[in-house]
Chains A and B, each alone.
Chain A
Amino acid sequence: MLLIPCPHCGLRDEGEFTYGGPARTLPALDQDTQVWRDAFFAGQKPPGPMTELWYHTSGCESWIEVTRDTATHDILNSNTPQSKVDTP
């Protein structure tokens, strides 16, 4: 059971969160199919640190970015999300 450091609420149990997958840049809406496919059908990063999104469902209802080592489950960092927009 992971202990996830929510930047707003502090260390909280995994059970309070909903997983949101690897953090990825949402392409601008007018980008073409290929750009969206590359963004959404990107493969698995190799074992090691990976930045991903978690939603603090039973807490502050914020999306947070967590950097977690997928080989060890160690959590290296957590943040409020940065802007992911390519073009406004």
Chain B
Amino acid sequence: MAYSGLSLLSHALTGNKRWPAILSTPDMRSSYDIVIIGAGGHGLATAHYLAANHGITNIAVIESGWIGGGNTARNTTIVRSDYLLNSSFGLKNFALKLWSDLTQDLNFNLMYEPRGYVDLAHSDGELEHFTLRANAMRLRGGDADILTGQALQERVPELDFSGDKRFEISGALVQESGGVVRHDAVAWGFARKASTAGVHIFQNCPATGFETEGGKITAVQTPQGRIACKQAFISVAGASSAVAGMAGINLPLNSINVQAFVTEPVKPALDAVVNYNAGLSYISQTDKGEFVLGGATDGYSSFARRGSFERIEDVLARAVQMFPFLTRLRLMRHWSGTADIPMDGNAIVGRTPIEGLMINAGWGYAGFKATPAVGWCMAELLATGKTPDLIAPFALERFETGAEQDDGGIGPYPWLH
């Protein structure tokens, strides 16, 4: 049943009593071609593209909780591709292109709003560095501009340039195709489409172990039974160490708490997504009217999903520098999630030492924006056995060779990324 204005009307006439469920509720088979562990955005996108691009639907997606209940549910919904390194830019810019068509592809309104991503620089030196990034993006086919002074003020009229500021605003990198996507809808849209295509999705079904034979994956164990498979794909965000550990794989990453928070909803007062760089603070306003904010990680290993309030005070202080009116609003809710941050701060995507077992982990706090691109590329890898160029730099083996993809140049200290 396609979603449309017309279907809304016709269902309204029958009291909305005939809407089908977005997920089918199949019985679990004893074997599938592919078992995807983790029904977050990345895992579900992979299932969708396996079906849509490669015609493979003999897939089980198993999820320990509810669909989209991990970091898909706990991010600040920002999408952008403003990276200097070709690898980071490439994958995220491909995602940005996919985002713009996904609502139609999935027949589910993901509410992609390219409101513009505005990254503020606080000195001429920093602006020069942002220009280097903007030039790289443009030369590689992305969109980016550098705005200063009046032009920046006109682009973000709500931004406060006046007053006694600790860090001046020298200018900004602006990516107009950046913006926000309704995070929950991403999981639901991919799940619905994949389920319709015949993919089996099982909630409340964690992976509890792997079976291998001759270095090759043969089955995934779950409390609901053993699932034989030709390939398995781990895409479980903050649980990556634990799940990969069941297969004896040690991922070079640390799990760190990242927070986000919202104000009470008010009428529209900010259009763009804006990032403050002298101490990180990013902010946008949701369609519902809340301001949603985030900042750097809490900076130490944690699985508590409960944040340090000092970080919130810190991020808010910076947000108020940009938008002083925020002092008049009230903080409504704050939450946190577990971000897996590898030793170079960049994701681990691709093969593992176990044949047929693939991994997608370590997205830190940058995973949401890459969702469809990871799904697309992982589907290609699982379907064809060939690693797409876009994910090749993110292979686990790079820590052996030293080909790290360290956007920040920070080094093997995940808590600093």
Is B255 at the interface (CB under 8 A from chain A)?
yes
Residue of A nearest to B303 (CB): A47
Whether B254 lies near A73 (C-beta < 8 A) is: no
Whether B301 lies near A44 (C-beta < 8 A) is: yes
CA distance A40 to B304 in the complex (A): 24
Whether A72 lies near B301 (C-beta < 8 A) is: no
Whether A72 lies near B241 (C-beta < 8 A) is: no
Q: A46-B242, A47-B303, A71-B304 are in contact. Are A15 and B253 (CB under 8 A)?
A: no
Name the contact of A40 in the complex, choosing from B250, B253, B340, B412 (C-beta under 8 A).
B412
Question: Which residues of A are found within 8 Å of B250, using beta-carbon distances?
Answer: 42-43
Is B3 at the interface (CB under 8 A from chain A)?
no
Most-contacted residue by chain B among A43, A45, A52 (CB, 10 A): A43
* A82 CB to nearest chain B CB (Å): 20
Whether A70 lies near B413 (C-beta < 8 A) is: no
Q: For chain A, which range describes its interface: under 10, 10 to 19, 20 to 34, or 35 or more residues?
A: 20 to 34
CA distance A43 to B303 in the complex (A): 14
* A12 CB to nearest chain B CB (Å): 13
Whether B254 lies near A41 (C-beta < 8 A) is: no
* B226 CB to nearest chain A CB (Å): 23
Question: Which residues of B are found within 8 Å of A42, using beta-carbon distances?
Answer: 250, 252
Q: A22-B254, A41-B252 are in contact. Are A70 and B301 (CB under 8 A)?
A: yes
Is B164 at the interface (CB under 8 A from chain A)?
no
CA distance A14 to B314 in the complex (A): 14
Question: Which residues of A are found within 8 Å of B412, using beta-carbon distances?
Answer: 40-41
Q: Mark B216-242, 1 if CB is under 8 A from A, else 0.
A: 000000000000000000000000011
A:35-88 near B, CB below 8 Å: 37, 40-47, 50, 52, 70-73
Question: Which residues of B are found within 8 Å of A15, using beta-carbon distances?
Answer: 310
B:316-349 near A, CB below 8 Å: 340, 343
CA distance A72 to B302 in the complex (A): 8
* B339 CB to nearest chain A CB (Å): 11
Question: Which residues of B are found within 8 Å of A10, using beta-carbon distances?
Answer: none
CA distance A19 to B297 in the complex (A): 12
Is B167 at the interface (CB under 8 A from chain A)?
no
Question: Which residues of A are found within 8 Å of B296, using beta-carbon distances?
Answer: none
Whether B304 lies near A73 (C-beta < 8 A) is: yes
Q: Mark B357-401, 1 if CB is under 8 A from A, else 0.
A: 000000000000000000000000000000000000000000110
Is A2 at the interface (CB under 8 A from chain B)?
yes
Question: Which residues of A are found within 8 Å of B89, using beta-carbon distances?
Answer: none
* B119 CB to nearest chain A CB (Å): 26
Q: Mark B55-99, 1 if CB is under 8 A from A, else 0.
A: 000000000000000000000000000000000000000000000
Whether A37 lies near B255 (C-beta < 8 A) is: no
CA distance A45 to B256 in the complex (A): 12
Please list 27 pairs of residues, one from A and one from B, whose beta carbons are closer than 8 Å in the complex, sorted by A's number: A1-B308, A1-B310, A2-B308, A14-B308, A14-B310, A19-B415, A21-B254, A21-B413, A21-B414, A22-B301, A40-B343, A40-B412, A41-B252, A41-B343, A43-B241, A44-B241, A44-B254, A44-B255, A44-B340, A47-B242, A47-B303, A52-B301, A70-B255, A70-B302, A70-B303, A73-B302, A73-B304
Q: Add 9 more A-B contacts to A44-B340, A71-B303 (CB < 8 A).
A: A1-B310, A14-B308, A41-B343, A41-B399, A41-B412, A43-B250, A71-B304, A72-B304, A73-B306
